[in-house]
């Protein structure tokens, strides 16, 4: 299965944002600092995932892909 760099970053950003949001709403209210944390988690995951290249197809004998 081939996953593009864009969709890999979108999924990573969404996952990081969801995790940060789930933590932020534990007390029933999202403060400004918690909102900023959610935004930074999404942007950080998007950026880091976009920079890391996808692994190329495995070649040669004994490759475990």
Q: Summarize pLDDT for 13-62 with one digit per residue, the tens.
A: 999 999 999 999 999 999 999 999 999 999 999 999 888 877 777 776 65
Give yes or no for residue 1 having a pLDDT over 70: no
* Long-range contact pairs involving 6-9 (C-beta distance under 8 Å, separation at least 24): 8/49, 8/54, 9/45, 9/46, 9/49, 9/50
The whole-number pLDDT of residue 8 equals 87
The whole-number pLDDT of residue 4 equals 75
The whole-number pLDDT of residue 38 equals 96
Q: Which residue, chain included where needed, has tokens 């534990």?
A: 26
Cα–Cα distance between 49 and 60 in angstroms, integer?
A: 27
Q: Is 13 in contact with 45 (CB distance < 8 Å)?
A: yes
- The model carries a pTM of 0.74
Q: What is the DSSP letter of 53?
A: P
């Amino acid at each position: 299965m081939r996953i593009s760099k864009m969709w890999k970053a979108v999924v990573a950003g969404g996952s990081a944002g969801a995790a940060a949001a789930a933590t932020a709403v534990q007390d029933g209210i999202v403060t400004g600092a918690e909102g900023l944390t959610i935004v930074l988690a999404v942007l950080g995951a998007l950026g880091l995932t976009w920079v890391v290249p996808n692994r190329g197809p495995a070649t040669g004998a004994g490759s475990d892909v």
